[in-house]
Each structure stands twice: as C-alpha cells, then as structure tokens.
Homo-oligomer: A and B are copies of this chain.
Amino acid sequence: MTTREILEQLQAGTIDLESALSELQGFEDLGHSRVDLAREARNGAPEVIYGEGKTSEQIREIMQSMAKREQNTLVTRLDTENAKALCQTFPDADYCPQARVLTRILAKPVPATTQVALVCAGTSDLPVAEEARLTLEFYGNPVATVYDAGVAGLHRLLASVETIRACRVVIVVAGMEGALPSVVGGLVDAPVIAVPTSVGYGSSFEGLSALLGMLNSCASGLSVVNIDNGFGAGFLANRINRL
C-alpha cells in the first residue's frame, strides 16, 4: 500500500488506527516479533518464518498478522509438535514432516513459465531437496526433479542431462564430498545453486566437507548457500527464474 492508500483506508474506516500506524512504519510490532510488512514491496516476496527456536504461540501470531494482509505463509524448520498445534488453528495449512515445512496458501501464485531443475546426489539428501521443492512450488515454479544421481554412477546423471539443460536455473543438493555441483556445473550454461547437506559421517563434520567442496568448485557459474538450506536455494532460484 502507498501512504495515500493507507490514509484513505483509515478515512474510509476499512483499517483501524493501529493498522495504519503499522503500515506507515512498515512493520507490526507484536512485542516478540516485528512483522516486516514492507518486505514484499522491497524484496518481491513477503517475510518467511524461520520456525526453529520459536514457540507455536509466537508463530501463530505472526501468521495471523500476515493473514490480515492476505499474505501466503511459509514456515521452515518447523518440528512436528509445533506443526500440529498450528494446523489446528489453520486447518487450511499443509505440513510436510520430511521437509519440516508448513505452507498456507491464501492466493495462488502466478505460475512461472520456465522450469527449475532440482538435482540431488543421494536418497539421504531428500529432506533438504524436498524443502527446496516445496519452496519453489510455493512461489509457483514448475520443478524438474532428478533424485539420487550422485557421481559414483555418472550414467544416472547423464541420462537426465537434457532434462536439466531445458531448465532456466539448476539447484544441486549433495552431502558427503559435495562433488555433484561441480560435475553438473561443467555440463550446463544456466546458473547453478549448490546446497551442501549434513549427510555423511566421520570427517564430513556435519556438512563442512560438502560446503568446502562446493565453495572450491573448479566449475564456474556456481554459488553456494548454507548447509541444509533447501529453502534458501529455492527462494533464490525463484528469484532468478522470474527475471
């Protein structure tokens, strides 16, 4: 809303004084949280709720604040117990336990016209890959998944190269040594977003080995997000896919 619109609505009585104040300053202050009402205008998408370390009560209030403005809600890293409590308040919300993601769609997103490729190295990386997939679909992107295509059996990847090349952006999810993004990066001319996962043991050090591998990739056109950050990759891929 522009400043003029806010004031007109106040005059018309469609919003109350508190709401007008929040809108003018760009956030609603809930005490524990300052819900960023201006984010969509600035960043192209409303705030996303990081679920870890928040109580279900806090998340509920943030979701209610956003719902007042008809914003779709995405909550990441939400454990099962909190999800259950929230789904009782918002029965139209969807929760995916594997990805620990809750979404609530109030207005369908405009579908993107180009696809995003989502490649992952092993079956054990699925929770992170699914977080990326749900994020991409939340923002209306068609996704082409190529799962379990790790470098130990290259033909599994090569069989899907044309699928990947047909996409505008590529996300590659991998744990252990994190070699897959380098190999994919050498085969395509689209931007590649690499997501290290904490899958592995011993000297994988909770994803450090995959992270370092991806940062030091010999392939160009590739960048990296945080360990297990499927959401971050999906959000960025949507942004690039929408250019």
Q: How far is the CA of A160 from the CA of B65 in the complex (A)?
A: 20
Indicate if A96 sits at the interface (CB-CB under 8 A): no
A42 at the interface (CB under 8 A from B): yes
Cα distance A163–B185 in the bound complex, in angstroms: 26
Complex partner residue of A189 from B44, B122, B127, B204, CB under 8 angstroms: B44
| Copies of this chain, whole number | 8
Whole-angstrom CA separation of A232 from B176 in the bound complex? 14
- Closest Cβ–Cβ distance, residue A46 to chain B (whole Å): 11
B147 close to A33 (CB less than 8 A): yes
A1 on interface, CB distance cutoff 8 Å? no
- Which candidate, A51-59, A85-93, A103-111, is the interface stretch facing chain B? A51-59
CA gap between A193 and B187 in the complex, in Å: 21
A243 touches B168 (CB 8 A): yes
What are 15 A-B contacts defined by CB distance under 8 Å? Answer: A27-B155, A32-B123, A33-B147, A34-B149, A39-B153, A43-B188, A52-B201, A53-B199, A151-B151, A176-B216, A178-B213, A179-B217, A201-B228, A203-B212, A221-B239
Residues of chain A at the chain B interface (Cβ within 8 Å): 25-27, 31-34, 36, 38-39, 42-45, 47-48, 50, 52-54, 58, 77, 121-127, 147-156, 159, 168, 176-179, 182-183, 185-191, 193, 196, 198-205, 207-229, 231-233, 235-236, 239-240, 243
Q: Which 3 A-B pairs have the closest CB atoms?
A: A202-B227, A53-B124, A179-B179
